[in-house]
Chain A
Amino acid sequence: MFFWIVQRDLLLAVRRRSDVLTTLFFFIIVVSLFPLSVGPEMNMLRTMAPGVVWVAALLASMLSLGRLFASDYLDGTLEQMLLSPHSLPFLVLGKALAHWLVSGVPLVMMAPVLGIQYDLPLDALFVLTLSLMLGTPVLSLIGAIGAGLTLGLRGSGVLVSLLVLPLYIPVLIFGAGAVEANMAGVEFDAHLSLLGAFLLVSIVFAPWAAAASLRVSME
């Protein structure tokens, strides 16, 4: 069933390709705004790059959270998921995986290109991509809780950011930290291990909390 739901969400994303592209372009535009606002001085841009790319990834992934449950909520599919004999946390995990494949992976693949804009050295580009690879699924998983809680509320888009962004902070710190450590010539394994640990913990707990929040919101 897990793969069914992933497959279904991917199929829906393929039928609505423009949604995927808007998130990606949002990411690109936000990252490109910074040199315009602080000036094209390469040394400064290089030190800023990990932070800027990571914050932009946070915002882009948060922006796409609205799509996670909203359309299923509006057409009644979510009701059917709640009444499914399959385990709801598993379904949520499937949806979060699909959400990451559709909105997270394009960001990961685009990140090296944007890093070049900021004149990052080759190995820093590699660490940046790796850290995003480990970190962005955590964003989708934690975001699922926020998306579930704000389902069908007025102004849910802004509300979800208030709920979710503070919870994203550890991922941001260690994600950007890994790249900075690499650029400073320090070991970055610890950062990546911690990101991996966050990923494991959120795979275990977040679907469960998100399932609970969906049940609360659908009452």
Chain B
Amino acid sequence: MAINWYKYASPASFYTLAGKMVPFFAIIAFGLLIAGLYIGFFVAPTDFQQGEAYRIIFIHVPAAWMSMFLYVVMAFWAGIGLAFNTRLSSMMATAIAPTGALFTFLALWTGSLWGKPMWGTWWVWDARLTSELILLFLYIGFMSLQAAIDDPRRADKAGAIIALVGVINIPIIYFSVQWWNTLHQGASVSVTQAPTMAATMLTGMMVMVFASWMYSIAVILKRVRVIILERESHTTWVAELREKGAL
């Protein structure tokens, strides 16, 4: 059966489709999260160098990966929205930003928690943590800009420009921070460089990565639905939904 993808490019039909997909992804995310945490905290062996504290990587690493990946996805959708004037793509970008910022914050928080037993301090100006902090600034900039603009069309386009400028700059920023870090001889130990990674550790981590994926998809779709309703509130199909009592 061929799916008519163009049909789902319209907010109205995407709204229904997303509504059907959200529970599906949410359930998978929940299942994977339970499994991943179980493997991470009960099955995976204790690390002989770092003791029990290393277990934070089961949250830290997926969060750090998602934070960077989501920024690129956000910039991609925003760019598509700017180039082809497709409203739904821009709404996707807007919906992704808070989740990306959340993961960035989570990565920073867990990184800091991990730092206390390892380095004896809550914060180290490690290259990865610093880049993660700057990434959080970029997310905040994107969200504040969109929040400050009343006209949704202008907000979409302005957000797209800053997201694209950001995505071009991320490698430059990352490289600069690396350089800065080696020059100043900061702490170069990193959470991801656990010397011996047991197979169960890797499994646990990958399960958690997939759980983050599913969670992100579920939450982003849910948020897109809200944005669609807000922007399309004056249209007839929303009015029909309201009459049917579906809202």
Contacts and interface: CB of A to CB of B under 8 A. Distances in A.
A130 to B, nearest CB: 19
Contacts of A173: 176-177, 179-180
A203 interface: no
Contacts of A170: 169, 172-173, 175-176
Contacts of A155: 148
B219 interface: no
Overall SS of chain B's interface: helix
Contacts of B165: 145, 167, 209
B137 A149 contact: no
A207 B12 CA distance: 38
A217 interface: yes
B197 interface: no
A167 B170 CA distance: 9
Overall SS of chain A's interface: helix
Interface in B146-164: 148-149, 151, 153-154, 157-158, 161-162, 164
Interface of A: 145-146, 149-150, 153-156, 159, 162-163, 165-167, 169-170, 173-174, 177, 180-181, 198, 205, 209, 212-213, 216-217, 219
20 contacts: A149-B158, A150-B145, A153-B149, A159-B144, A159-B145, A162-B144, A166-B137, A167-B165, A167-B166, A167-B169, A169-B173, A169-B177, A173-B177, A173-B180, A177-B179, A177-B180, A205-B168, A216-B154, A217-B154, A219-B154
